[in-house]
Structure 1
């Protein structure tokens, strides 16, 4: 009988908080209008939309709705760290948080989050045709002569796993897990908040 070794866990939760989603959507749109440095960075780096990734580093102190979200994220990060079996002397600490407004057709190339322990995204608005997030098996570079997997292979055996988030979806993963945002087919903006824990 086969045993499962070296598991890669993805924490997924649905946060039922309609008022918080409305407040966060307003916050993201306001930041996208007012954050000239973030808009400039997005334009210069080919980000199709707006992100505060390189411009604002104090959003939970600046915005009450984001502070409310942070309390939710802190609880989920602590629970996920326990599930992962981490031997920590303290709870994971929020290291960075940024908002994203990705236009229809926009994408984000595959990447990791160096110098972090946990990373994740909270989805605020996910219009029809928004791009999914796709995770990559970290062993892919070492598979050499491994055959392709059947289309009906169990999810845990697939080289890529795609998640189609909904408003209120929270995803958390270990920061070394390579992931990407697939190009969307819709026209409306997808609103999300990404973060790292150290």
Structure 2
């Protein structure tokens, strides 16, 4: 991007971009209702695991291998979304690289949360929101909100200047039917659910690796401006 000032042309470069991609599935209500039914059956039969979740239930990371109808429909939507975003954001992806997805269900009852974390080894991480209940205290807009943490180093005195360059945290409270995607190295956490109902979501990671016949040489991660 180039602008013109008193000194002539001024070039603008975004050196280390961190995109957050968001879409809202149209008519997501029936899909979400089926996912909730399938989730309840799994939760009754599976003990769950503990990862970043504090309280609540976290399924095994087998969402994309499941045979339940709603699981499969959402899995296909996520595959398409990841593919479209990657084609747009990462045109340099080498040909022949294979995509691997893993995903899991999250169920957060009242007071459950997810501690700050990232997803080592993955390229993208994301979440689809199945149920996002309203907080018991209406002004509490942070109930169940996802918050992203600035991955940069200390800003020092620059932090006293409020602007986009100095933000340290950005949060949002998605609605049911929202699908998010972000770079997996970006640390994030989920605020406690203060609603009486359970918050339900499907989280996932996307990995890329050379497929058969693809170049396997390690690429350079530095470039000249």
TM-score, normalising length from structure 1? Answer: 0.84
More helix by share: 1
Change (3 A) 1:118 1:46: closer
C-alpha displacement of 1:171: 0.3
Aligned match for 2:79, one of 66, 74, 83: 74
Deviates more, 1:76-85 or 1:168-177: 76-85
The alignment of Structure 1 onto Structure 2 pairs a total of residues equal to 188
Change (3 A) 1:182 1:90: farther
Change (3 A) 1:94 1:49: same
Residue 159 of structure 2 is matched in structure 1 by: 147
TM-score, normalising length from structure 2? Answer: 0.75
Whole-angstrom distance in 1 between the partners of 2:147 and 2:98: 24
Whole-angstrom distance in 2 between the partners of 1:80 and 1:113: 18
Structure 1 runs (4+) greater than 6 angstroms displaced: none
Structure 1 unpaired stretches of 5+: none
SS at match of 1:167: coil
**8 Å contact 2:126–2:181 — kept in the other structure?**
yes
Task: Look at both structures and tell me which one has the larger radius of gyration over its CA atoms.
Answer: 2
1:134 paired with 2:147, answer yes
Structure 2 unpaired stretches of 5+: 4-9, 136-142, 208-225
Equivalent residues in 2 for 1:8-27 (5 A)? 8-16=18-26, 17-27=28-38
